[in-house]
Amino acid sequence: MIKTISISKFETDSGVSYDTIDLHFQHFGQDYNDAPVVLINHSLTGDANVAGPSGWWNEIVGPNLTIDTNQFAILAFNIPGNGIKGSVLKNHLDFHTGDIAEIFYSGLKKLGITHLFALLGGSIGGGIAWEMSARYPELTDNLIPVAADWKASDWIIANTFLQKRLLENSKDPVQDARIHAMLTYRTPASFSERFRRTKNSEKNLYNVESWLVHHGEKLFNRFPLEAYKAMNHLLSSVDISRNGKDPKEIISKIKADIHLIAIDSDIFFTPDEDQKTFEFVKENKENIFYHEIKSIHGHDAFLIENDIVSKILSKVFKPKLKP
């Protein structure tokens, strides 16, 4: 069930004031007043529906699963402007992911939550997790960015730039932007394994073409254009080092155990960026760890390779499980 918190008198880093911002969220598992709290941040076109029958991570989060709802209180916020319950940002250019981090933190405070057991997120959700931990270094015991980074790399900025042009200029903006995005979320090897140059004779299309059209239409039917524009802009804005701050110093001050989870075949948030972070931070911070998902499926592997993801996450969550 979707619940709502109203954040009053919010001012963005750029100095724009909003009287009210509605923050929609979902809660799974235990009472967050009594149990360890886990905050999970969704990806670009995702939402807070992380568990349950239609949950996007329902093989990871649930009763007796790796993130066990019998043990933990699970919270997931919808990124403002992602279209859930008609949510739009009056001007998404007023915001960057640091502002979203502040809104999420305000939401936690409204719920009376001062500390998290774990803060994790996939893709842009991982970027927001980085932003929250950079601003509030003692917020969580465990920071787990999955297929994510603390900044938008030049490659991410280039891809979001193309996405922006498609969203502004295409005749079918959501569909065409989604088709392009799917080419960065998967890999050539993933496509070859699945489609093998087979054709859909009824549509006179290669099956890979038919699959891309399907994903474009599927997103068009559930995701507003303005939401896509807002999320794409936010993705390009991830940067804990904005305003000239030293990322090494910022990360070194984060108290949490940091578990970087990369994907060896990811051509979107490439694993070498996480590897660089690990190498330059480990000199000053012992409790940072690098994990890698081995998969041919690229960026989307964190939504596909559930057994591998569970094995990695169990290093964090198993110690909390009852015998």
Q: Where are the domains of the chain?
A: 3-153+238-320, 155-233
Give yes or no for residue 171 having a pLDDT over 90: yes
* CB-based contact 186:244 (threshold 8 Å): no
The topology under which CATH files domain 3-153+238-320 is Rossmann fold (3.40.50)
pLDDT in tens, 36-87: 999 999 999 999 999 999 999 999 999 999 999 999 999 999 999 999 999 9
Total number of residues shown for the chain: 323
Mention the CATH class of domain 155-233: mainly alpha
Contact by Cβ (8 Å): 60, 309 = yes
183 sits in which H/E element: helix 173-185
CA end-to-end span of the chain, whole Å? 31
Residue 166 contacts residue 151 (beta carbons within 8 Å): no
Contact predicate 97/131, CB 8 Å: yes
100: left (phi over 0), alpha (psi -120 to 50) or beta: alpha
**pLDDT tens across 249-269, in order?**
999 999 999 999 999 999 999
pTM over 0.85: yes
How many angstroms separate the CA atoms of 149 and 277, rounded?
A: 9
Residue percentage of the chain with pLDDT more than 90: 96
Cα–Cα dist 221/112, whole Å: 36
Q: Exposed e or buried b for every residue in 305-314, given b needs 16+ CB within 10 A?
A: bbebbeebbe
